[in-house]
Amino acid sequence: MTSLPPTVLRPHAEHEFAHELAALAAADTRERPPSWRLSPWAVVTYVLGGQLPDGTVITPKYVGQRRLVEIAVATLATDRALLLLGVPGTAKTWLSEHLTAAISGDSTLLVQGTAGTAEEQLRYGWNYARLLAEGPSPAALVPSPVYRAMERGAIVRVEELTRMASDVQDALVTVLSEKTLPIPELGGEMQAVPGFNLIATANDRDRGVNDLSAALRRRFNTVVLPLPADAEEEVAIVERRVAELGAALRLPEVPSSDLEIRRVVTVFRELRSGATEDGRISLKVPTGSLSTAEAISVVTNGVALAAHFGDGRLSAADVAAGIVGAVVKDPVHDAVAWREYLEAVVRDRPEWREFYEACREL
């Protein structure tokens, strides 16, 4: 694991929250699975937050059902891999990073799944200069993140598993079932040491693109991460993440506007559900996910506008442009859905007049 550079835009979780992880490790007297830096109880405390006996405050990294996090952590302590499934913006990647940081102390063992991901990125590759000069040898082998995790007894992350081709996905079947990676070129294999496991994430909107085979799906315990249960929970998530992002990006300080954040969250929740909060008006649902992550992005962009081009206070006009851009992904269907929402819902809310006028100008 490399040391943290003096200044980075986004530190890895194990660096950013090193003091919390150290405090948890010092206070943790519970049994730890092989190679784990913390006990399962301490991992859940790190993720969901709490206070230690010495007064150290552990900040929550994920806001959601405690039982889901407990199931995820318990799964990683068994021989089954963990699949975090959900719509875009439900913090799958965020949760996987923090789980890996707390368990292994290294969240950088990562394979990013795309349509172009090759099997070598899951298994191993070769240094072709050495391969041609010396032939197959351990020195010529280039280990993948999965290989290194097996070697160390660590957790490896595979992002967007269903975006990989099915034959590439199936390279994981033997790894997950036998905890072995065959290396036929060397006449050998890599056997995982205790502590090895895998966290995969998948977007349930990608179903039908590259579905997991039955053999691979059986190797996973699936935890579905839902969208925030209510508006209050979603507002709290947005407020906290916007403050953290603003500090990381060194944006000029802008007073928090609960009104504007609630407005963004309300718009997103109503359009996601296809009905207003009171259920009186049915709405067209845009093609985008309108996730909590997008709400965070909209408010952060609004803070930047207010700080650099406004009066230093987050206004309706500052968030309007971001909302329109987030909603209207399809210029035909989404534009119609947005105009209907604007005229049938927003216009009739007197306290939203400034927001309505700002949106009409875009």
Report the candidate in 265, 279, 280, 257 with the shortest Cα–Cα distance to residue 227: 265
- pLDDT value, residue 362: 84
What is the DSSP-derived secondary structure letter of residue 67? H
- pLDDT value, residue 3: 55
Q: What is the distance between the alpha carbons of residues 157 and 163, in angstroms, rounded to a whole number? A: 14
Q: What is the distance between the alpha carbons of residues 135 and 18, in angstroms, rounded to a whole number? A: 43
**Which residues have C-beta within 8 Å of that of residue 123, sequence separation ≥ 6?**
144, 146, 147, 171, 181
> In the chain, what are the domain boundaries?
71-224, 231-360
Name the superfamily (CATH) of residues 71-224. P-loop containing nucleotide triphosphate hydrolases (3.40.50.300)
- pLDDT value, residue 257: 77
Segments in the chain below pLDDT 70: 1-6, 205-209, 256
Q: What is the distance between the alpha carbons of residues 7 and 356, in angstroms, rounded to a whole number? A: 41
pLDDT tens digits for 54-84?
A: 999 999 999 889 999 999 999 999 999 999 9
Distances, alpha carbon 182 to alpha carbons 136, 176, 196, 213, 259, in Å: 14, 12, 16, 20, 57
Q: What is the distance between the alpha carbons of residues 334 and 286, in angstroms, rounded to a whole number? A: 5
Radius of gyration of the chain from its Cα atoms, rounded to whole angstroms: 23
CB 36 within 8 A of CB 103: yes
